[in-house]
Amino acid sequence: MAIPANAVGRDIGESVVTVTPRMIMAYAAGLGASDECYLDDLRPGGIVAPPPFCVVLEWPLVSGPAYREVTCTSDSEGWGSIHVTQDSFFHQPIRPGRTLVTRGHLVQVRPTRVGAYVGARLVTRDHDSGEPVVTSWFAAIFLGVTVDGDARMLDQPPALGPVREAPGNGLDWTPIPIARHLPHVYTECAAIWNPIHTERAIALSKGLPDIILHGTATWALAGQMVVRRFAGGDPTRLRRLGGHFKGKVIPGTTIAVGTRGDDRDPCGVQVEVRNAQGEIALASGRAEVAPSMTVAR
- Residue 181: CB partners within 8 Å, gap ≥ 6? 251
Give domain status of residue 59, yes or no: yes
* Structural domains counted in the chain: 1
Is residue 265 assigned to a domain?
A: yes
CATH number (domain holding residue 119): 3.10.129.10
For the whole model, what pTM was predicted? 0.93
Secondary structure element (H or E) that encloses residue 105, with its range:
strand 99-111
Query: Does 241 map to a domain?
Result: yes
Contacts of residue 151, Cβ cutoff 8 Å, sequence gap at least 6: 5, 108, 109, 110, 111
Identify the domain containing residue 137 by its residue range. 3-289
In a domain, 92, yes or no: yes
Q: What is residue 296's predicted lDDT score, i.e. its pLDDT?
A: 41
Closest alpha carbon to 270 in 175, 172, 174, 176: 172
Helix (H, G, I), strand (E, B) or coil at 24: helix
Q: Are 36 and 43 within 8 A, CB to CB?
A: yes
Per-10-residue mean pLDDT of the chain, 297 residues long, equals 93 97 97 96 95 97 94 83 94 97 97 95 97 97 93 90 63 96 97 93 90 96 97 97 95 97 86 96 96 56
Q: Does 297 reside within a domain? A: no
Per-residue CA distances from 44 to 28, 47, 72, 110, 135 (Å): 18, 9, 48, 48, 28
Count of Cβ atoms closer than 10 Å to residue 226 Cβ: 25
